[in-house]
Amino acid sequence: MVKLVRHSNNPILVPNRNNEWEASATYNPSVAKLGDKYFLVYRAFDSNGRSTVGLAEGSSPTAFSNRRLFIKPENKWEEFGCEDPRVVRVEDKYFISYTAISAWPPTMEGIKVGMAITTDFSNVDEKHPVTTFNSKALGFFPEKINGKYAAILAADTDKKPPKIALSYFDKKEDIWSEAYWNDWYAHLDDHAFNIPKRDEDHFEVGAAPLKCEAGWILIYSYIENYFTGSQGWRIDALLLDSQDPAKILGRTHEPLLYPIEDYEIYGNVHNIVFPSGAIIEEGELFVYYGGADTVSCVASCKLSDLVQELTSERAKP
């Protein structure tokens, strides 16, 4: 069985009491590379419970500095927070999807997906509201599938049962088209695919999909006993077909990682590891995750080991 190995520098980001906007938490990170630099976006939590998106940079995938506020509420559709960013390079731009909160206290109707676009992480070039319904955890595929832009997301995520679904776009503008999403949601069941689970369990998209020679790797969050109490948060993986990502080719049946370390057990919410980003560098898979809804962490494994696991007989869904 493949396990993720925690980096010795964990946690790689901790709250900074000197910066009010990130005084209470710096977690759920996602990483992209530009040139020889790594850029990490993360959810920052202030002392009043409001979220924004921070940005840090580094020369390696495991050490980051130069932190600054990058995305903050500026519109009614994100008025009460920008949460859980996922960054992916799509052609010559970097798409950063995030959960946009438009109601406080949050309601199902006030939890949707927004996005920001940047060219070089110096500033945000564009911002758009995306979905028109209860949703979060949208991750873009880094390349087109059958000639279309593609994304995976959690829809009806605060309802039972939740759904993970796929969306395809003929052009970039469809990504933030209200008409597109209204029609898409009217046929939600046609876009959803089933991840095997027990009725009392829950799941959510973790990192955006990564391409490997065997297909798409999806690192996701699996929560045992989500609806019955005594929750168990773990990090798992799926292998999806390269041309039809709704087809699951393999899955891990044992967790890649679960809370063990103090920084995963103790924090704003105890006993949580939540995967929010992943990259492949020189044959190594780095998975970025939030610990106890408080700090940012990273763990890794050899990509070849995970692919071998996901293509083995025991990995069949």
Residue 254 has pLDDT above 90, yes or no: yes
**pLDDT value of position 199:** 82
CA dist 246 and 243 (Å) reads 9
Residue 59 has pLDDT above 90, yes or no: yes
% of the chain exceeding 70 in pLDDT: 100
**pLDDT value of position 317:** 82
* ∠ CA 269-109-277, rounded to 5°: 45
**pLDDT value of position 70:** 99
Residue 279 has pLDDT above 80, yes or no: yes
Domain edges within the chain: 5-315
Q: How confident is the model at residue 178 (pLDDT cuts 50, 70, 90)?
A: very high
Instruction: Decide which of 60 and 200 is more confident.
Output: 60
Instruction: Decide which of 199 and 182 is more confident.
Output: 182
**pLDDT value of position 158:** 77
Residue 231 has pLDDT above 90, yes or no: yes
Residue 249 has pLDDT above 90, yes or no: yes
Average pLDDT over residues 104-117: 96
State both tokens at 263. 């920084």
Q: List 202's β-bridge partners, or say none.
A: 223
Residue 1 has pLDDT above 80, yes or no: yes
Weakest-pLDDT range from 39-43, 93-97, 160-164, 179-183: 160-164
Q: How confident is the model at residue 51 (pLDDT cuts 50, 70, 90)?
A: very high
Q: How confident is the model at residue 155 (pLDDT cuts 50, 70, 90)?
A: very high
pLDDT tens readout for residues 280-315: 999 999 999 999 999 999 999 999 999 999 999 988
Q: Answer yes or no: are the C-beta atoms of 128 and 146 closer than 8 Å.
A: no
CA dist 282 and 278 (Å) reads 13
Residue 189 has pLDDT above 80, yes or no: yes
Whether domain 5-315 has CATH 2.115.10.20: yes
Average pLDDT over residues 226-231: 84
Q: How confident is the model at residue 228 (pLDDT cuts 50, 70, 90)?
A: confident
Q: Answer yes or no: are the C-beta atoms of 40 and 278 closer than 8 Å.
A: no
DSSP 221-236: EEEETTTTSS-EEEEE
pLDDT tens readout for residues 191-202: 998 888 888 888
Residue 160 has pLDDT above 90, yes or no: no
CA dist 85 and 100 (Å) reads 10
| pTM of the predicted structure, to 2 decimals | 0.97
**pLDDT value of position 45:** 96
Q: How confident is the model at residue 177 (pLDDT cuts 50, 70, 90)?
A: very high
Residue 226 has pLDDT above 90, yes or no: no
